[in-house]
């Protein structure tokens, strides 16, 4: 079986008075690129979370987002605590009046209230260290649930990609069969074209047949694609074997080897019909290459 690097999983649960939500998503990448968005109170746990994600998801651009909110708190779309700012602003005006400031610049006071510490909320929830420690095991279980859902998503995507791979390989095999059929008549055609060219030059039928046959043998060796056909067939079979392993890097390497044989067949064949077949085979190979970039 193969796993796609594209995946998504989420889990949420209410623990005591906290609503905890975890989302895990991943995209394709050559390397492991992790990003964790955790509440500040859980920052000490980030290494543990990163190690778990690396172990479970292995490779890709992986992002985890964890949010905690008290169940009795409404969701605010603003990062500014309006009530708190209003209280600060009123208190600043009161103090200014108390100390005898005759002309109060309310705009300046308001800007000062905005700049005071703790005015901007970094997070919607603030948990004490003791509360976080008590809740951590339950929170980690939610992270595990979301991660496993992401893995399941990857497997489903991988099954779809696997079927696509089989279709593309089957199409290339059909192209190879067509090349083999055309190759049976290609060399006799080359021989006839060479003979016709000699006759067009004004030579009679009694030209040196031995020399002619030597030249034919030379061109046969030059245009021979027997080895390329065998190697291509072998690579196609091995690609399907690697597909069972689910190794994306190996699949990418095999796609390159398949491409090398297809290109060589196209360059050596010297046959317009085979060239058209090669173009179609290359088209199927490009589809394979696109998909291997997203296989784990």
- Which of 28, 3, 290 is closest to 160 using CA atoms? 3
Chain segment 244-275, per-residue pLDDT in tens: 888 888 999 999 999 999 999 988 877 888 99
Report the pLDDT averaged over residues 96-124: 65
The string of pLDDT tens digits covering residues 128-165 is 567 657 778 888 999 999 999 999 999 999 999 999 99
**Is 231 within 8 Å of 265 (Cβ atoms)?**
no
Could you give the dihedral angle defined by the CA atoms of residues 258, 262, 267 and 270, in that order, rounded to the nearest 10 degrees?
150
pLDDT band at 120 (very low <50, low <70, confident <90, very high): very low
Write out the two tokens for 221: 């060796």
pLDDT of residue 293: 86
pLDDT of residue 10: 95
Domains of the chain: 7-75+127-154 (3.30.230), 82-115 (no CATH), 158-292 (no CATH)
């Amino acid at each position: 079986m193969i796993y796609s690097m594209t995946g998504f999983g989420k889990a949420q649960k209410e623990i005591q008075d906290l609503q905890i939500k975890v989302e895990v998503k991943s995209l394709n990448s050559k390397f492991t690129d992790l990003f964790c968005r955790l509440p500040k109170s859980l920052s000490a746990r980030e290494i543990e979370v990163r190690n778990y994600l690396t172990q479970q998801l292995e490779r890709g651009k992986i992002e985890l987002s964890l949010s905690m909110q008290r169940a009795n708190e409404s969701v605010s779309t603003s990062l500014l605590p309006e009530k708190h700012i209003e209280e600060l602003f009123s208190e600043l005006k009161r103090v200014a009046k108390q100390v005898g400031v005759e002309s109060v610049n309310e705009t300046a006071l308001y800007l000062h209230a905005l700049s005071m510490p703790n005015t901007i909320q970094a997070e919607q929830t603030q948990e004490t260290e003791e509360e976080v420690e008590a809740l951590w095991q339950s929170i980690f279980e939610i992270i595990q649930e979301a991660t496993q859902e992401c893995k399941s998503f990857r497997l489903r995507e991988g099954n779809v990609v696997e079927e696509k791979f089989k279709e593309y390989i089957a199409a290339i095999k059909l192209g190879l069969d067509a090349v083999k059929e055309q190759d049976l008549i290609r060399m006799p055609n080359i021989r006839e074209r060479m003979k016709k060219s000699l006759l067009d030059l004004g030579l009679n039928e009694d030209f040196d047949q031995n020399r002619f046959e030597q030249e034919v043998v030379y061109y046969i060796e030059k245009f021979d694609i027997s080895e390329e056909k065998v190697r291509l067939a072998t690579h196609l079979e091995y690609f399907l074997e690697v597909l069972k392993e689910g190794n994306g890097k190996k699949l990418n390497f095999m796609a390159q080897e398949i491409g090398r044989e297809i290109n060589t067949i196209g360059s050596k064949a010297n046959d317009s019909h085979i060239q058209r077949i090669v173009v179609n085979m290359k088209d199927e190979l490009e589809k394979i290459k696109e998909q291997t970039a997203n296989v784990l």
